[in-house]
Amino acid sequence: MLNKDINNELKKIIVKNSRLKTSVANISDNSDLINDFGYDSVSLIELIVNIEQTFNITFNYDMLSIDIISNFKNLCDCIKTTLKNS
Amino acid sequence: MLIKDILLRQKSNDNLAVTFGKEKLTYRQLFEFVQKNADKLKIYASNSHNIGLLLPNSSNYIIGLFTILFLDKAAVPLEASIKKSELKNIINYCDINLIITDTKHKKLLTDVENINIFDIETNTLEINSQSCIKCDLQTHFDDVTMLMHTSGSSDKPKRVMLTNRNIISNIEANIEALNIKENDKTLISLPMYFSYCNTAQLLSHMYVGAQIVILDTIFLPHIFFSIVEKEKITNFMTVPTIIKTLLNYSNQKTIQSLKWISIGGAPIDNETFKKLIESFKDIEFIKTYGLTEASPRVSTLLSKDCRTKTASIGKPMKGIEVKIILENGNEAKEYEKGELSLKGDNVMKGYYKNTQETAKTIKDGWLHTGDIGYYDEEGFIYLSGRKKNIIISNGINIYPEEIEDVLMSHHAVEQAYVYGILNETYGEIPEAKIVIKKETAISDMELLQYCREKLSDYKIPAKIIFVDKLQYTNNMKIKRTESLNVK
């Protein structure tokens, strides 16, 4: 999967799991899922489960700190690393 | 016995009390920290009617809570994700002159005048109020010891006054129902300001001298299983939203230490509950029902009854009398639906500074829950609906009027109506219908952004729908007819 495709797919998943209304166009590298899109602990769990199912990966949970999960670019990099290692 | 005695009587106990990340404290150490803080704050606490507690889940939260209790004051636990304007309202309404917080959350208090701030992290006290008023001490069994969050609009918040009697009776009944022992080790991931976590989990385990592990990171299924295994957790309490996520991970290896999981805070659907029982055969599931006004726990459906009475919320705990009251005021018979009402030492003293709402809720000593239900021939209680106008999202009560107040405060909004819609993840979430003023224009995103500045995230409507008009009743109140539609 191309990096661009991963970015786009992740944006779609973020929009789908956000409790608050948002759109793909609102998401940038610096987006903070908690502060910008109202993600909370519950929606973050749903997001992680959805990412694992969509990309067919299992995260190394030691990698998943709140700082990683809540920042778009960090989360994207985390998916890329996991895909690379799988 | 007072709540502070839970810690006082364990001041020489060298057993581990709390684990929070790498931090581990014994009961003796907890006592010493609390005593030290209480000595430091004694002079400044005397001029505060009640003391605020603005801390996220942490061992500091426990130390802060007991510091307030050692000062013989009522604690007002505040949610750590609160917005500035919400915080200001509560501080004023609850007559808080002293607040215990940490360095991060202290920033929320920059606009609040005349408040003394104790930073529990740096152990520093900031004096901003020179008031000399001497406020009463709460030293008796029937004195108010906690003002718990429930719901309410910004100008009329509903803070539940709980006395030592209320909370101690509920703790003791809860310990007996769940058979909590000194050798238990519970994992806390629910917000500790939440009445359910405060009484049924935190204080119930401290009462018997058991161990508490506070989750220091986000709850994720793998993290949960790994902590349970590492810490040898024996029980866990959670809400339906969280427990559902574990279903995707039911192939996890058996964790020997975990005896039971209690689920409460919001109704769990029967299908999910059955799936949990089938998926995790080595774990006992206990369904609970309660409300903050009842300190909070009312009934438990123990695992032995879960397969035969899956839809029930169980039977009342010891010392709690439950009856179903029909519309005509008569007591219901088996299977007759009516309002679930209860009596017992756990019933709150009332709503703080709100005698009108108290009188509506407690009649002749009976607490009217606003929940509709019935009981079967064996005395098991079932819920079938709700009379009160609240939205229960992820176990937290949301009062639609509070959101409507915020929406109405926007210059472009003419009318606002907030209601709950069913949501697979959260149970329920708020949605709003808006009528905008003539010759004004505003987008839903702009309005949502406005809400985000003034409301905690969980209260922000998931969707805003613009309509031409709202429906009103004959006495000009919004017709609250929106049914809960699955989303």
Looking up residue A39, the CATH number of its domain turns out to be 1.10.1200.10
List the single best residue of A22, A45, A59, A71 to mutate versus B (max B Cβ within 10 A): A45
Q: Which of B220, B394, B460 sits opposite A61 (nearest CB)?
A: B220
Does the distance separating the beta carbons of A65 and B245 come in below 8 Å?
Answer: no
Does the distance separating the beta carbons of A49 and B426 come in below 8 Å?
Answer: no
Instruction: Name the pTM for this structure.
Output: 0.87
- Residue that is written with structure tokens 């989750």 in the block: B215
The confidence score (pLDDT) of residue B485 equals 41
Q: Which of B394, B460, B463 sits opposite A42 (nearest CB)?
A: B394
Assess A44–B contact: CB distance below 8 Å, yes or no: yes
Distance from B460 to chain A by nearest Cα, in Å? 8
Distance from A21 to chain B by nearest Cα, in Å? 6
Assess A41–B contact: CB distance below 8 Å, yes or no: yes
Both tokens of B284, joined, read: 């006992």
Both tokens of B219, joined, read: 């709850």
The CB-side HSE value for B246 (13 A sphere, CA atoms) comes to 25
Distance from A7 to chain B by nearest Cα, in Å? 23
The domain tally of chain A equals 1
What span, in angstroms and rounded, lies between the C-alpha atoms of B324 and B346?
Answer: 18
Does the distance separating the beta carbons of B460 and A61 come in below 8 Å?
Answer: no
Distance from A14 to chain B by nearest Cα, in Å? 14
pLDDT digits (tens, 9 = 90+) for B287-304: 999 999 999 999 999 999
Per-residue pLDDT in tens (0 to 9) along chain A, 86 residues: 777 789 999 999 999 888 777 889 989 999 999 878 878 777 888 888 889 889 998 887 777 777 788 899 999 999 999 998 87
ipTM associated with this complex: 0.70
Assess A24–B contact: CB distance below 8 Å, yes or no: no
The partner residues of B299 in beta bridges, in order of sequence, read B289, B316
Q: How high is the mean pLDDT of chain B?
A: 91
The confidence score (pLDDT) of residue B53 equals 98
What span, in angstroms and rounded, lies between the C-alpha atoms of B431 and B262?
Answer: 29
Helices (H), B393-443: 400-408
Which residues have C-beta within 8 Å of that of residue B287, sequence separation ≥ 6? Answer: B262, B263, B264, B268, B273, B300, B301, B306, B312, B313, B314
Domain assignment of residue A59, given as a range: 3-85
Distance from A38 to chain B by nearest Cα, in Å? 6
Does the distance separating the beta carbons of B218 and A69 come in below 8 Å?
Answer: yes
